Amino acid sequence: MLKRLSFLSILLILVPVIRAQQPPALDGLKHEAVEETDKLQTFTQQMVDQIFSFSELGFQEVETSKYVTGILEKNGFKIEKGIAGIPTSWVASYGSGKPVIAFITDEDCIPRASQKPGVAYHDPIIEGAPGHGEGHNSGMAVNVTAALVLKKQMEKYHLTGTIKLFPGIAEELVATKAFYVRVGYFKDVDIVLGSHVSNDFSTSYSTGKGTWSGLVSIQYFFHGKAAHAAMAPWDGRSALDAVELMDVSWDFNREHLRTAQRSLRVIINGGDQPNVVPSEAAVWYYFREMDYPHIRSLYELGNTVADSAAKSTGTTVDHKLVGAAWPPFFNKVIAEAQQKNIESAGMPAWTDADQTLAKALQKEIGAKVEGLKLKVEPLEEPAKTLSGGGSDDVGDISWNVPMVYLMFPANIPNLPGHSWPNAVAMATPIAHKGSTAGAKVQALTALDFLLQPQLVTQAWDYFRNVQSKDVHYESFLAPTDQPAIELNKEKMQKFTPDLKHFYFDPSKYKPTSNSSASPTQPSAPIRNRCASLVIRISRLRDRSCGLSLIAPCQMNDPFVTPPSRRREEHAGWKPALQMNRPLALPRCDSWI
């Protein structure tokens, strides 16, 4: 009897424990995930701002990768660094078993796009320096936040599955993801959830709006013979002549190419000085088209034109494939699940200040003035006519595993892209709110596939029997092609010492909401010392110099200095990052 009572007592004790470990229904888990994501708003905001301040170009994302992997490692993720022979690349993993869900987003920024956030006119942090004029600083905050929420739920409810996170290293050079694929990092992955900054909240499947192109990125190096350009030019052979002849020849070919093609170029070496016949010169081409055969055809034509230019000038030429990208093709099953989560999350609640900054920037650059979008985009049927346009090397991943690409609303509509206007909002509440919204959708979509294995099966059925039925992936990479890890090294060596003075320090600022602090670094007390500066700016506003939305700032911040005639008087300038409202400073010369 005593044994039976003891057994019953133990059973009564264990029942609540067993029940506590049982996961709620999917809807309950999703509701919890949304609440947990909201609790991490400060963390998400700090990630957005921290990566913005690093401003690292492709292949040189040293601080960014160290920062992100540090967060993940502290939170129990296993880190493998230097994957595919790329020093700044990595993969983070948590969990075990199937399904394996991978997140991917980019880290690199844009040359010459340095910009003070929240300032609605061109005002670089450092003149000529790189900056996040594409907004890649926000995507990692989206994916890492979602991954931390999922990890917490997987631990709490003993959910089976594996989460992986990848960085899009050197995406602006479309230069790494094909190498990830070649090494085999996606062979065991069931689905991929990519994320990218946008001004809308949307997803797509198949070819989407038809505005994706694929490409190959090729550098041509011409070798000639140096000579005195005035005294004995006949003894020289100009490599620059060969570059110019190649460019002219390519331009004559354009009228015979399909209208879908886009071929872009920059001369990356034009010689040393005018009185020396250039013995070395180089030109860099992006050949874009709509499918593998046409991209391959452009690649071969480019090589032919380069060889002909070399022969015509008595020079020689060799070339290097820097990067390649298949045109992306996204999965309908995942997109349909993701669309429901987008609609559930909804657009962020923009404030009047958010809208004012957006409209001020749109007006400043001569774009259509309409502010920020208020509604999520519907999931549309793929475009019947493909026009082509931008490229992204997630395309290679999308042809190896079912994938979608979430566009989350962290930037302002009607901007030119790849330039300073696209950096204005990227460390303001616009980016913070949009990134939190994106993180919710990433977490919710992952839960759909963690808890509903039939969706994984359906996604692969679409991949095999629709997407890949008649088209099969073939890499543009030759076995000898290697990542161009030396690119941008000299540029970052030039600017990094100055950029370090502006690295964001989250310990100096109060959270902008009641959300919890960072999992890795709690907020510290604030010293507000800039009331006099606010008054000075307000006086400028009263002189009708322009638009001014002023909030109390925090001095002694090493991030953004004001365009002052006596910049050395100010230890720092904090326009928007931690004040929950953007700042559009008056365009006025008198900072007196």
pLDDT tens digits for the chain (592 residues)? 555 545 555 545 554 444 445 778 999 999 999 999 999 999 999 999 999 999 999 999 999 999 999 999 999 999 999 999 999 999 999 999 999 999 999 999 999 999 999 999 999 999 999 999 999 999 999 999 999 999 999 999 999 999 999 999 999 999 999 999 999 999 999 999 999 999 999 999 999 999 999 999 999 999 999 999 999 999 999 999 999 999 999 999 999 999 999 999 999 999 999 999 999 999 999 999 999 999 999 999 999 999 999 999 999 999 999 999 999 999 999 999 999 999 999 999 999 999 999 999 999 999 999 999 999 999 999 998 888 899 999 999 999 999 999 999 999 999 999 999 999 999 999 999 999 999 999 999 999 999 999 999 999 999 999 999 999 999 999 999 999 999 999 999 999 999 999 999 988 877 655 455 455 443 332 223 232 223 232 233 333 233 333 333 332 333 333 333 333 333 333 443 333 333 443 333 222 2
**Alpha-carbon span 221 to 461, nearest angstrom:** 45
Q: Which helix (H) or strand (E) holds 265?
A: strand 262-269
List the chain domain ranges: 11-211+327-412+423-493, 214-325
Q: Which residue has the tokens 């931390």?
A: 148
Query: Would you call 114 exposed, middle or buried from its count of C-beta atoms within 10 A (0-12, 13-18, 19+)?
Result: buried
139-170 burial, b if ≥16 CB within 10 A, otherwise e?
A: bbbbbbbbbbbbbbbbeeeebebbbbbbbbbb
Q: Which CATH architecture does the domain made up of 214-325 adopt?
A: 2-Layer Sandwich (3.30)
Instruction: Give the H or E element holding residue 280.
Output: strand 280-289
* Residue 371 in tokens: 């502010």
Amino acid 512: pLDDT: 57
Edge-first strand order for the sheet with 191-198 is: 78-81, 90-96, 161-168, 100-106, 191-198, 403-409
Distance CA 285, CA 303 (A): 11
Residue type, 511: P
- State residue 576's pLDDT score: 39
Q: Coil, helix or strand for 426?
A: coil
Cα distance between residue 585 and residue 568, in whole Å: 19
Q: Distance between terminal CA atoms of the chain?
A: 91
184: tokens are 């085999």
Report which residue type is found at 459.
A
DSSP string, 161-206: EEEEEEEETTGGGT-SHHHHHHHTTTTT-SEEEEEEEESS-B---B
Please indicate whether the domains covering 11-211+327-412+423-493 and 214-325 agree at the CATH topology level: no
- The pLDDT of residue 559: 38
Q: How far apart, in whole angstroms, are the C-alpha atoms of residue 59 and residue 485?
A: 6
Question: CB of 264 within 8 A of CB of 278?
Answer: no
Give the whole-angstrom CA distance, residue 389 versus residue 308. 29
Cα dihedral: 390, 394, 397, 399 (round 10) = -20
* Fold of domain 11-211+327-412+423-493: Aminopeptidase (3.40.630)
Looking up tokens 């990519």 gives 194
Closest of 57, 55, 59, 54 to residue 486, by C-alpha: 59
Question: pTM for the whole thing?
Answer: 0.86
Can you give the pLDDT at residue 20? Answer: 47
CB neighbour burial string for 225-263, b if at least 16 within 10 angstroms, e if fewer: ebbebeeeeeebbbbbbbbbbbeeebeebeeebeebbbb
Query: What DSSP letter does each residue of 216-239 carry, written as one string?
Result: EEEEEEEE-B--BTTT-GGG-B-H
